[in-house]
Chain A
């Protein structure tokens, strides 16, 4: 391959010209910037080519991980389509494809600017070009030398970030399924992806002060890939929506009975879960933010391993709990368990050992089974278990971090959780409230009985006996 042959030629060049002595301190982890600059000047070709490769590799890594997280949109679509009734399938699919697209647009318009001090409409990223000279200069000035923070193409950063916004928003669509007006949901999407999520993202991943009052990073808050920032946030918005929306007709009986409304397509639900599982490798893996040196490559490998282990632990735990409590192996609980495991590890997937990751995932799997039942007994109707999987277990994920990551503190995690929850829940409640007052957020009783597919989309997902005109 080109990479190895280039490196081979480079190595040969070093030996041949006798610049090894000069280059060794530069290639060490704690190189001084002046020596690095001197080395670049003395052996520009070899070193800058290696840096170019690191740039390309780290950029490529962001892009591939971004693509994997994008794939999670397909996962959510299939999972939700499988867990709603046939008469509501077209509408939930429409919601999913639309929310993904709106998220991409709104994050470009203003979300990225709010979250990362970028420019509105991404005007700062034009043509995808970072000048080679500028990039090489930043390499030579980088703290930590070759092992320092990754340097990559700006568009790849946006691409990686935008798919996370879409994921957070997607969590809401399952909880409000089968009874919410499509367009009310899409209008909420605009606000959530353009404003609500970017604000709390700025306070966490961008390290900004929360309205100038306190700084979560300084308090020891740590959320690697977003158990709180993405998952708990999405669930908070979902909870606000569900509280104002009310349960589906016929779900809760007059004497407090819970009437199950069965999913219509379990193969799709299973496919969706596996797609999410695979996409999660990008979600957690990409959050390492760098691939191109030994330490980070090791971290990435561990993250993939732990992510997988946690999902497996979560699924088996949920399966066992459902067998113990309900006497049967409930597939839908097992699927939720796998996702719960993934959410639980997302806040810290690199520090735990494989066994710890499996156990953390299992804890998520156990918790989710009880949470789903608890929400139903509180008459909070969540057709796909989104609030349990992403919210309750999201919080668990945050609280597990200090066990393996000594840079974080329980106080920090709790403060972060409270900040994210209060911000997202309250602002969402306001937006849902305004929408409810202006246009209503729930379809009428007749429409709910007929199914939102025909009402909102004019198309059945599984049409039969369609007449000709």
Chain B
């Protein structure tokens, strides 16, 4: 089992969500975050004084997924979230040690 953490542009959320749903992913968790990578921020002026806006709004998606679906899921997210312009985001895949469904107590693959 793997955990996919993806940072994407906020307006791409609907598309990514649809793409994941089309390959059979049933649950995701979403957080509003701010961050930057190589997409630099820029300076603004506030009442005459300069400040830096480098943290840009992004959306973080977390999906727990079975290994069998992993490649499809990553590809789905990549294709749906890509605009070709800087700041599109990143996808991180990490190993998931265990999963428990709270309501029923199921563990492992059945809990996904």
Taking beta carbons and an 8 Å cutoff, which residues of A are in contact with B? Answer: 87, 249-250, 446, 449, 454, 458-460, 464-469
Contact A469 B43 (CB under 8 A): yes
Q: Of the candidates B45, B52, B55, which one forms a contact with A458 in the assembled complex, judged by CB atoms under 8 Å apart?
A: B45
What's the A-B contact tally at a CB cutoff of 8 Å? Answer: 36
The one of B45, B51, B85 in contact with A466, judged by C-beta atoms closer than 8 angstroms, is B51
How many chain B residues touch A (CB < 8 A): the figure is 18
Closest to A459 in B: B46
Which residues of chain B (52-81) have a CB below 8 Å from chain A?
52-55, 57
Query: Which listed residue (A446, A464, A469) contacts B50, Cβ 8 A?
Result: A469
User: In this assembly, does B9 line the interface, its C-beta being within 8 Å of a C-beta of chain A?
Assistant: yes
Query: Residue B90 at the A interface, CB < 8 A?
Result: no
Chain B residues with Cβ below 8 Å from A467 are 41, 51-55
Decide if B34 is an interface residue (CB 8 Å cutoff).
yes
CA distance A465 to B51 in the complex (A): 11
Residues of B within 8 A of A469 (CB): 43, 50-52
How many angstroms between the C-alpha atoms of A465 and B36 in the bound complex?
12
Query: Is B51 a contact partner of A468 (Cβ separation < 8 A)?
Result: yes
* Residues of A with C-beta under 8 A to B51: 466-469
**Are B44 and A459 closer than 8 Å at their CB atoms?**
yes
**Nearest CB of chain B from residue A459's CB, rounded to whole Å:** 6
Interface residues of B in 6-47 (CB under 8 A from A): 9-11, 14, 34, 41, 43-46
CA distance A460 to B44 in the complex (A): 10
A446 proximity list for chain B (CB < 8 A): 85
Contacts of A458 in B (CB 8 A): 44-46
Interface residues of B, dominant DSSP:
strand
A selection of 25 A-B contacts at a CB cut-off of 8 Å is A249-B11, A250-B11, A446-B85, A449-B9, A454-B53, A458-B46, A459-B44, A459-B46, A460-B53, A464-B34, A464-B55, A465-B34, A466-B51, A466-B52, A466-B53, A466-B55, A467-B41, A467-B51, A467-B52, A467-B54, A467-B55, A468-B51, A468-B52, A469-B50, A469-B51
Chain A interface, >50% SS class: loop
B54 to chain A, nearest CB (A): 5
Identify the 8 closest CB pairs spanning chains A and B, nearest first: A465-B55, A467-B52, A458-B44, A465-B34, A449-B11, A469-B52, A469-B50, A467-B54
* Minimal Cβ-Cβ distance residue in B for A448: B11
Provide the bound-state CA to CA distance between A468 and B50, in Å: 9
**Taking CB as reference atom, which chain A residue is nearest B56?**
A450
Closest to A467 in B: B52
CA distance A184 to B54 in the complex (A): 29
Chain A residues near B44 (CB, 8 Å)?
Answer: 454, 458-459
8 more contacts with CB within 8 A, not counting A249-B11, A460-B53, are A250-B14, A458-B44, A459-B44, A465-B34, A467-B41, A467-B55, A469-B43, A469-B51
* Bound form: Cα–Cα A265–B62 in Å: 27
Provide the bound-state CA to CA distance between A459 and B44, in Å.
8
Residues of B within 8 A of A459 (CB): 44, 46
CA distance A265 to B41 in the complex (A): 27
Residues of A within 8 A of B57 (CB): 87
A464: chain B residues within 8 A (beta carbon): 34, 55
CB contacts (< 8 Å) of B55 on chain A: these are 464-467
Q: Measured between alpha carbons, how far is A250 from B11 in the docked complex, in Å?
A: 9
Chain B residues near A454: list those with CB within 8 A. 44, 53
Q: Inside 8 A of B46's CB, which chain A residues have their CB? A: 458-459
Q: Which residue of A lies closest to B44 (CB)?
A: A458
Q: In the complex, what residues of A have CB within 8 A of residue B85's CB?
A: 446
Residues of B within 8 A of A465 (CB): 34, 55
Q: Please, which residues of chain B bring their CB within 8 A of the CB of A460?
A: 53
